[in-house]
Structure 1
Amino acid sequence: MADIAILETRERALAGILLTGAAYLLFSTQDAAIKLLVAGMTVWQIMFFRSATILIACAAIGGRQLFADTRRSPVVLPMLLRSAFTLAAWLCYYNAARSLQLAELTTVYYAAPIIVTVLSVVLLGEKVPMLRWLAVLIGFAGVFVACDPARLGLSVPVILVLAAALLWGIAIVLLRKTALAERSMIQLLLNNFYFLLFSAVPALLWWQTPSLAQLLLLASIGALGGLAQYFLFEGMKRTPASVLAPLEYTSLLWAFGLGYAIWGDIPRHEVFFGATLIIAAGLLIVGGEHFRKRL
C-alpha cells in the first residue's frame, strides 16, 4: 500500500508539472497576440474581451449549476484578493509591452520564479530542497545570458515589468492556497468575473471599435487565456508552488520562437546557450522530483 501511495504521489506531481508547462506555452502564445493588439487598443479593453470570452465558455460548459456552486464557494473573497494582485501584474506587464520587445519583456519578468520560491517558503511553509534552489538559479542564469537585461537599463517599462514579477509572484502563492480549496472551473469563473468587473468601466471610457482581425485575435486570447488558467489551476492542485516555479522559464523559449515567427527576430548565439541552461533547469527539477518520490 505504501508503494502504491508513493507511486500515486509521484504521478500526481509529474502531472502537475506537465499541466503547468502546457499552461506557460499557452500564456506565451497569448502574450504574443496581446503584443500585436496593445499597439492599437487599451489593456483594459483587451482584458474585458478576454474575461467575457472565458465567462461565456464557463457558462456553456458548467451551466447554471456552476454559477450556483460558485456563489456558495468558500474562496469567493480569497479569489478577489488574488485577482487584484493578478490584475495589477497584468496591467504593469502589458503596458510595458508597448515599449519592449517580447524577448526583453519576458527576460526581465523572470525574476518571478525566484520570488515564488522565496514566498512559498515564507508564506506557505514549504520546504525547498537545495536541488530546487539550484534549478531556479540555473534557469535565471540562462535568462540573463540569453537576453542580457543589464543592457535595458532601469527605464519605466523595465520597472513596470519588475513590479509585474513581484505582483505575479504573490498571486501565484495565493493561488496555491485557493487551488486546494476549490475546483478549477469555479476558480476560473471567479477570476474572470472579477477581471470583467475591474475592466468594464475603463474599457468603456477608452473604447475603440475593433476591426475583424482584432476581433479574431481577441477571441483567440480568450481561448488561450482560459485554457492556460485552467491548466495552471490544475497543476497547482497537484504540485507545490516551489516545484513549479522554474517551469516558468520555458516561456522564454516560446517567446523567442514566437518572436521569430511573427516579427522575424533572430536570436543571438547567447540565446541558444541561455536556452540550454533553461532546459537544463527544467530537466533538473523534473528529474529531481522523480528521484525524490522514489526514495
Structure 2
Amino acid sequence: MSDDRPTQPYAASAAVAAPPPVPPQGQAPVRDRTGLAIAMMCAVSLIFAFQDVFSRILGGGYPPVLIVMIRYWVFALFVIALVARQPGGLKRAIRTKRPLTQIARGVILALEVLIMVEAFVRLGLIETHAVFSVYPLLVAALSGPVLGEAVGWRRWTAIAVGFAGIIVILNPGGGVISMAALLPFAAALMFALYGLLTRHVSRDDPAMVSFFWTGVSGAVAMTLVGIWDWQWLAPMDWVWMACLCVCGMTSHYLMIRSYELAEASALQPFGYTQLVWVSILGVVLFNETLRANVVIGAAIVVAASLFTLWRQRMRSR
C-alpha cells in the first residue's frame, strides 16, 4: 500500500519535526495554489537552515540535551495552543487508538533531533545534512518490513545508488571513517522509522492527534533525560534560544499552510533546498569546507531520493 502523506519534506533535524496537519487521505487541499505553497516550502527550508545555525551555536557551549529539551518545551506549548483551536480541542487530540505507537514516535523523533544537534557540533552543518539526506531512501527500504508495502526493483536500484552516494560522501579511501560520521546516518534511520510509524498511525488517528502526541511525548522524554543537565544560559544565549524557538514555530506554521494549499507530492522535492542554504551558511558563518566528494555524493543521494519520491507518486496514482 502506498501512502502519499508527508512526514516532513526534509531534515527534521533542524526543527522538531512533526507531521503537519493535512487534509484526510483522498481529499483535495482546500485551495490549489501550488506556486504560493512552493514559495512557502522554500521559506520553511531557509528557516530550518537558520535553526541549524542556532542549534550549532548553542550546542557548542551547552549539552545538546539541554538545548533540545528547552526547544521541546516551547514546541509542546505551541502544539497545545494550536490543537486547542481545532474542532474537539485537546480532548479530541488526546484520544488515540494507538497510544504506545504515538509515544514511540515522539520519543524516536526527540532522540533523532538530539543526535543531529550533536552531529552539527562534531561534523558541521554541511556534512551532517549531506549524510542525513539519505533518509527518504531508508523510508523506501523499510516500508516493506514495517508497513508491508511492495518495493519494486526500480526503487531498490535507487536505494543502492543512494547508498553509493553516502560512500562517496564518507570517502573511506581518504582515511578512517570517524564514529561521528555515523551520527547523521543514525539520525536518518530514526527519522525514517518515525516517518513510517507516522504513516502507520495515520490509518487510525487524524493528523492533528499525531501532531499533539509528537510534541507532548517528545517534551516529556527530553525532560526526563535533560533536566539533570539543567543550567541557566548566558543572557546572549537566551537570545539565540529565543530565535531558535521563534523559527521553529514560524516554520511549522508555514509548513502547515503550504500543505493546505498544495499536494504533498508537489512540495516534498523543494524541501531539499535546505541542503543548499545549509551549505551556504556553513561556509560563510563557520568556515566549513565544501569538499568535492561531499557535493558529488549529496547530488547522487538527492537524485536517488527524488526518484523514489516520483515512483511513490506514480504508485499512489
Q: Would you say same fold, with TM above 0.5? A: yes
Please name the residue that 2:126 is paired with. 103
RMSD between aligned alpha carbons? 4.2
Q: Contact 2:76 / 2:219 at 8 angstroms: preserved in 1?
A: no
Please name the residue that 1:117 is paired with. 140
Q: For residue 113 of structure 2, what is the amino acid of its counterpart?
A: W
Mapped to 1, the partners of 2:81 and 2:62 lie a distance apart of 28
Describe the shift of the 1:124–1:228 C-alpha distance in structure 2 as closer, same or farther (beyond 3 A): farther
Q: For residue 166 of structure 1, what is the amino acid of its counterpart?
A: L
Mapped to 1, the partners of 2:173 and 2:212 lie a distance apart of 39
Please name the residue that 1:41 is paired with. 62
Q: Contact 2:116 / 2:183 at 8 angstroms: preserved in 1?
A: yes
Task: Single out whichever of 164-173 and 142-151 deviates more from structure 2.
Answer: 142-151
Please name the residue that 1:32 is paired with. 53
Percent same amino acid among aligned pairs? 24
Q: For residue 47 of structure 1, what is the amino acid of its counterpart?
A: V
Task: Single out whichever of 145-154 and 80-89 deviates more from structure 2.
Answer: 145-154
Kindly indicate which of the two structures has a greater share of residues assigned to helix.
Answer: 1
Mapped to 2, the partners of 1:280 and 1:228 lie a distance apart of 25
Please name the residue that 1:178 is paired with. 201
Mapped to 2, the partners of 1:200 and 1:39 lie a distance apart of 20
Task: Single out whichever of 45-54 and 265-274 deviates more from structure 2.
Answer: 265-274
Deviation digits for residues 179-214 of structure 1 (CA, Å, limit 9, x no counterpart): 343333332221121122122244332222123432
The yes-or-no answer on 1:126 pairing with 2:149 is yes
Task: Single out whichever of 42-51 and 285-294 deviates more from structure 2.
Answer: 285-294
Q: Contact 2:134 / 2:166 at 8 angstroms: preserved in 1?
A: no
Describe the shift of the 1:177–1:22 C-alpha distance in structure 2 as closer, same or farther (beyond 3 A): farther
Deviation digits for residues 221-267 of structure 1 (CA, Å, limit 9, x no counterpart): 334445666749x97xx779xxx7x9886654343222123213342
Describe the shift of the 1:281–1:156 C-alpha distance in structure 2 as closer, same or farther (beyond 3 A): closer
Structure 1 length as normaliser, TM-score?
0.73
Mapped to 1, the partners of 2:312 and 2:140 lie a distance apart of 15
Deviation digits for residues 144-189 of structure 1 (CA, Å, limit 9, x no counterpart): 4456366473433234444333333222211221234333333222
Shift of 1:106: 2.6
Mapped to 2, the partners of 1:60 and 1:257 lie a distance apart of 34
Mapped to 1, the partners of 2:27 and 2:84 lie a distance apart of 34
Match of 1:116, SS state, is: helix
Shift of 1:38: 0.5
Given candidates 90, 93, 98, the residue that maps to 2:116 is: 93
Q: Contact 1:26 / 1:228 at 8 angstroms: preserved in 2?
A: yes
Match of 1:209, SS state, is: coil
Q: Contact 1:79 / 1:191 at 8 angstroms: preserved in 2?
A: yes
Show the 5 A alignment for 1:1-295: 27-63=48-84, 65-146=88-169, 148=171, 151=174, 153-226=176-249, 231=255, 251-274=274-297, 276-278=299-301, 280-281=303-304, 284-285=307-308, 288=311
Describe the shift of the 1:287–1:123 C-alpha distance in structure 2 as closer, same or farther (beyond 3 A): closer
Q: For residue 91 of structure 1, what is the amino acid of its counterpart?
A: L
Please name the residue that 1:3 is paired with. none
Tell me the number of residue pairs that the alignment of Structure 1 and Structure 2 aligns.
282
Describe the shift of the 1:275–1:167 C-alpha distance in structure 2 as closer, same or farther (beyond 3 A): closer
Shift of 1:283: 5.3
Describe the shift of the 1:182–1:275 C-alpha distance in structure 2 as closer, same or farther (beyond 3 A): same
Structure 2 length as normaliser, TM-score?
0.68
Describe the shift of the 1:92–1:44 C-alpha distance in structure 2 as closer, same or farther (beyond 3 A): same
Describe the shift of the 1:196–1:285 C-alpha distance in structure 2 as closer, same or farther (beyond 3 A): closer
